[in-house]
Structure formats: C-alpha cells, structure tokens
Structure 1
C-alpha cells in the first residue's frame, strides 16, 4: 500500500482542526468563530434601514442590536434582535429582516399615547388601555387629556369619551380627577370643579351641558357644582358670589318686609 508523503501532515492538520472545532463547541466559542469567519467573507452588517419610528430614535434601535462593525449577517439571530427592539418603551411591535449580503431592515409599530396620567408628582404618558408608555417630560403631547389620581389611567378612555359627547363642555376641561377610584371630578380651566356621581354620570353630564347652555352657570362666580345627589344640583359660590347673592336676596325681601309693616 502506497502512502503519499503529504498524508501525515494532512492527518495532523485534520486532527488539529477537529480538536479546535471540538474545543470551540465545548467552550461556547463556535458562534463567535462563525460570526468572525462570515464577516471576513463579506457578510458583515454595514447597512441598517429603520422605518416606522417617530418617537424612537435610530440610535436607540441600533444600541439594542449591539452591532460592532464585524457583526455577521449570517449569524444574526433575528428573533432575539426583534425582541430587543420591541423592549423599547415606545415600540408596540417590531420586525427584523435580513437582506443579504450586508443589510438589515427593521420596521417598528409604535404605541399611541392617549392621555397624560398624573400620579402623585409623576406625569406619565399612557395608552388608551391605561398601559404606561414613558414619563412625560416635554410639551410634545401636552394637548392630550390630563387624568389625575389612582386608577385614572385605566379609566381615562371612558370619562374622556363621555365628556367629548358635549363639545362645549369638553373644551373647558383642564383635567379629569379620579376620586377614591370610584367617580370623577372635572376641573375646568376657570377653576370650577364639577363633582360627577358614581352612577349616572352620562345623565349628569347631559343635564350640566343643558344648564350651562341655558344659564351660563359655569361662567359665574362658582367654586364647585356638586351633582352627586340624584334629585338636585348643589352650587358652591365664591366669597364674592355669595356676597352678591346675599345682597340680592336682601333687595328681594325689602318689599315683603315693607308690606308686612303696613299691615
């Protein structure tokens, strides 16, 4: 049997290569080796295209991908990359796609802020479902409804939608205050507080809107309008309003008193 002269070096090289591959596999270095080899072969990621983001910066997305300039497209785990991008505060969902030989396409769907929730001294943007998005730190979304108090975030959609059925009233609301996690107060822009009942808020709002249209009640010297009693509306006047009311009643009573003295 003739053995070629290069057989011994070939077998030695094969044994060394097998030993190295075995060592890399056992030591957990195989993925890194694969990344390096494919990157040197022209598959290093050099282009990342991001779409769908307006609140999330490109830099935030790239940081989640942890690219180092030699990251191989072949060894990139798109599922892990998608989960990392989806973990960003504003991201609702994300898709990551490889485009060979050297590009990644990322498409994100961002959350939609519905209201600003004030809880103690913190302001947080929340979704319509009440899920928290991110702290409110700028005027970018300052036109959103402000809801205040424990439980207000999860109930915001209901009260805002109810009040919106009365546009003239809705335009005057500064904040929606959740009281005892049971009912709502409306704080108006002029400082008046409207106390809505726990049950029958829709009927109370309709009555308030009609009363305001007919009398201009909310534009008068009023501190609060209490609608928690089913059969009546209680109005708390400002000190000046109370003084004027007292003087008006006295003027109204003068003819009555004069008639009494004549009789």
Structure 2
C-alpha cells in the first residue's frame, strides 16, 4: 500500500473577518437610534445648516430672491396662462354691465395675479346676485356664472325709499317710483320684507279681485291690511289671516260688499266683523 501524504495549504488570499472599523459600524447599525440618526436627523441637520448658511449671506439671499422672482415671472407670463376674455352667464344686461364696471381687473391678466376670492366677494356683494361661480376655461376665458335674484315685490320701506325684493325678502335693487315696476305686487310698512310668504298666499286667494288690489300694508310688524282701489281696506288679524281672506271672498261673492259704500272691512275681532262706512260705522 502506498502511504497517504497530507499536505496542508498554508497559502490563502486573506483574513475573511471584517476590519475593526467595519465591525464597529455594523454593530452600530444594529442600534435603532443610530439608524434613525443617520437616515433622518443627520440629513435634516445638514439641510438646515446649508439653508442657514445661504440666508445668512446677503449676496446669496439676494441671488435666490432674484432668481425665484424671475423664474415665477417668466412662468406666469406664458401666453397659455393669460386670462384674455371674460364671459358672464345668467345675468340680465343691466346686471352684466354693473358686474363689468365693478370688477377691479384689467384684461389680459396672468392667472397668478388673479384673485378668485376677491372677485367672488365683489360680485356677491351686489344686491341682485344670489350666488356666483367663477372658473377659467380653455382659451384663457374667465367664465362667470351668476344666479340672479328675481324681483317679485316692490317694497316701500320709508316714504322716500322703494326697493325690489325677491320671494325670500332679499333686496334686489332700488327703484325711484312705483311706475317703474307696476307689474309687481306693492307692499309697504316696516317688517314687510320678512313676511312675504303670507303675501304669496294672499295673492293666490285674491285672484278673483286681483285687479282691485293696490297694496299689501304691514301694520306694526304684526299683521296686514289689504289696500283696494276706491280707498277701501281689508284689515286682517295677526293670526290665521288666510282664513279671514277666505271669509271675505265668501262675503263678497254673496253680498257684493266691495260695491257698497264701505271704507274698511275689519276682521281683527274673530267674534265680530266690523264694517266701516265712508260716512259712519256699522257693526255686524
């Protein structure tokens, strides 16, 4: 038998163990606080240090200001960002003219210089405007969609002030004489603007004699008088006035009471109807 000979290879490339520095770093990396410091705290600190350094130097600060201002201006002045035209929808011609004259803008204007909030507040401050929607559409067109209040009543607030009201009692505009809107029901007296719902009910009930109704007068902010032609007046109670109007219509249909020499038909006392003649008073 041949003897076995064992040869040891004592030549190798190097020690596979990590270096001391690498070993210590690996040990540190296992610590959660060290990883947090390396990934978050250190970068933030370096960024803050750089920012403080830059802004503490006046020349560097002026450079950044000038550069950012020029960049914003060059971007804002691009033709595709300019608002060139204005379109107003949903407004009558008089209101459209008022809106165009009131808006504090001069077209064309950059979209970066356009203050949507300010423009919306200016338009909504107009009495005739209920709500407004503002947006910029393609082509550089400022589109203003207006929901206009519709006048439904003429209100004499004081002997020298006439206002147009919508059905909710909001002021739409002002007129200078009744003839300007003679097509609308006429209401008078303090507090009439907050009780227009009752007027709408009266109008529906009084259709048989609507051509004789002159005005609806609010008395002491509590009840209504219906003023008719020929200086006649119907005094309604503060409670259930519609019921009193219905009773009046029945009475007029059966007795033709409006054709008589009566000045006032008083329903304020539910227990007794009072008729006032133009010369004296008679109670029923």
Aligned partner of 1:149 in structure 2 is: 189
In structure 2, distance between residues paired with 1:158 and 1:98:
42
Structure 1 vs Structure 2 CA RMSD = 3.0
How many residue pairs get aligned? The number is 221
Aligned partner of 1:45 in structure 2 is: 83
Aligned partner of 1:223 in structure 2 is: 263
The 5-angstrom pairing of residues 128-139 of structure 1 reads 128-137=167-176, 139=179
Task: For residue 97 of structure 1, report the CA deviation from its aligned partner.
Answer: 1.3
Is residue 110 of structure 2 the alignment partner of residue 72 of structure 1? yes
Task: Choose from 64, 73, 76 the match for 1:18.
Answer: 64
- Which structure exhibits the higher relative contact order, with contacts defined as CA atoms closer than 8 Å and separated by 6 or more residues? 1
Equivalent pair of 2:232/2:264 in contact (CA under 8 Å): yes
In structure 2, distance between residues paired with 1:47 and 1:61:
14
Q: CA 1:182–1:57 in 2, change beyond 3 Å: closer, same or farther?
A: closer
Task: For residue 131 of structure 1, report the CA deviation from its aligned partner.
Answer: 2.1
Q: CA 1:234–1:57 in 2, change beyond 3 Å: closer, same or farther?
A: closer
Task: Choose from 93, 113, 125 the match for 1:87.
Answer: 125
Q: CA 1:57–1:208 in 2, change beyond 3 Å: closer, same or farther?
A: closer
Q: What TM-score, normalized to structure 2? A: 0.67
Q: CA 1:169–1:87 in 2, change beyond 3 Å: closer, same or farther?
A: same
In structure 2, distance between residues paired with 1:18 and 1:131:
52
Task: For residue 16 of structure 1, report the CA deviation from its aligned partner.
Answer: 6.1
Equivalent pair of 2:201/2:242 in contact (CA under 8 Å): no
SS in 1 for 2:248: helix
Is residue 160 of structure 2 the alignment partner of residue 114 of structure 1? no
Aligned partner of 1:210 in structure 2 is: 250
Equivalent pair of 2:85/2:107 in contact (CA under 8 Å): no
In structure 1, distance between residues paired with 2:61 and 2:79:
25
Equivalent pair of 1:39/1:70 in contact (CA under 8 Å): no
- Unpaired runs of 5+ residues, structure 1, are 1-12, 25-29, 246-263
Which entry has the higher C-alpha Rg, 1 or 2? 2
Aligned partner of 1:4 in structure 2 is: none
